[in-house]
Amino acid sequence: MSKNIVITPGDGIGKEVTAQARKVMEYMAKRFKLVLEFTEVPIGGTAYDLTGTPLPDETLQACKAADAILLGAVGGPQWETLDYSVRPERALLGLRGELQLYANLRPAQIYGELVGASTLKPEVVDGADIMVIRELTGGIYFGQPKGVEIRNGERVGFNTLVYSESEIRRIAKVGFETAQKRSGRLTSVDKANVLEATELWRNVVQDVHNDYPDVELNHMYVDNAAMQLIRAPKQFDTIVTTNMFGDILSDAAAMITGSIGMLPSASLGGKVGLYEPVHGSAPDIAGQNLANPLATILSVGMLFRYSLDLREADELIQKAVENTIKIYRTADIMAEGKTSVDCQWMGEEVIKSLEQI
């Protein structure tokens, strides 16, 4: 049976890294005797330049009809002065909302070879393997009312943090089920001492815990969680948290691993999963074949695991990446004694490495 993979390369290095990731998918399709059909559609600033909107209807419809979506990255300085409603980043919020992708999974796993690339001491990070699950379609990024208006003669900006019980319940379930498949430990992060919406969060997570007695649950305030992530990251296994706290904590967790160029993500919950690297469009290195494609290639691994039910393919890709970086490095993870390669070369080395496993 054929599977329809939609690729939305987006802007900047998004185009370069998805090109390498596509080659890995083509290789894996042959290896696992899958028929993958690829459709490439524009998104972000590139789509705005072509059609006047960052999320054209054609792109949205293609994504809705897909079996899985691979996204590069969106944004760039040339679109920063546009109205918020048509900024490239709006396409991401629109897509997540339309596809009901309420669960964002971001693994932050340190590869032994890259322990030295972290800004933290090797003994603090060696062996760290954290899965951050961020609620993606609710909370303060979506709550109403929001805006900037004049009150008492001055400008006032406001956003609303709102979570319904059902929104918390469904992401908590993802948290517990993910923890079950890992080491069985879940940390729920909130600010229940100050924010009523997250007091509800804590109560509902506690309630859902009754259905997962085999998972060890603890609650942590977000300020403490930020500190603990840097102080002793290995104490965490699976973390589940709100949209904004997850946005910040997952970037902090990411940096434990040394490079943003190594971090994949999956957004799940609806009918179709969306996979993308954690990094952005990196305008400073775009168009120069310098980007590290490994985050996107690892995102392909997650695509095989979660949307095509091929865990083995994900494990193979992770192993191939691990083997490749023993010798080859892009500039962002370059170290003494390694061979410096560009984006395309790195993609080719991953395929060679896959052929050897």
Ligand X SMILES: NC(=O)c1ccc[n+]([C@@H]2O[C@H](COP(=O)([O-])OP(=O)(O)OC[C@H]3O[C@@H](n4cnc5c(N)ncnc54)[C@H](O)[C@@H]3O)[C@@H](O)[C@H]2O)c1
Interface ranges with ligand X (CB under 6 A): 13, 17, 73-76, 89, 92, 260-261, 276, 279-285, 291-292, 295, 332
Please list, in sequence order, all residues whose beta carbon lies within 8 angstroms of the beta carbon of residue 3, skipping any fewer than 6 positions away.
34, 35, 36, 37, 67, 68, 308
Q: Which is nearer to ligand X, 20 or 187 (CB)?
A: 20
Q: Which is nearer to ligand X, 10 or 233 (CB)?
A: 10
- Catalytic residue check, 83: no
Q: Which is nearer to ligand X, 54 or 269 (CB)?
A: 54
> Catalytic pick from 3, 27, 64, 251?
251
Q: Which helix (H) or strand (E) holds 185?
A: strand 185-190
CB of 239 to ligand X, least distance (A): 20
Of 60, 67, 72, the C-alpha closest to 5 is: 67
Burial class (CB in 10 A: 0-12, 13-18, 19+), 156: exposed
- Catalytic residue check, 309: no
CB of 278 to ligand X, least distance (A): 7
Q: Quick check: 324 and 353 in contact, CB under 8 A?
A: yes
- Catalytic residue check, 57: no
> Catalytic pick from 49, 207, 211, 223?
223
- φ/ψ (deg, to 5) at 156: -125, 130
CB of 35 to ligand X, least distance (A): 29
CB of 76 to ligand X, least distance (A): 5
> CB 149: neighbour CB atoms within 10 A?
9
> Catalytic pick from 126, 129, 247, 342?
247
Please list, in sequence order, all residues whose beta carbon lies within 8 angstroms of the beta carbon of residue 279, skipping any fewer than 6 positions away.
13, 73, 260, 261, 263, 295
Q: Which is nearer to ligand X, 204 or 282 (CB)?
A: 282
Which residues are known to be catalytic? 141, 191, 223, 247, 251
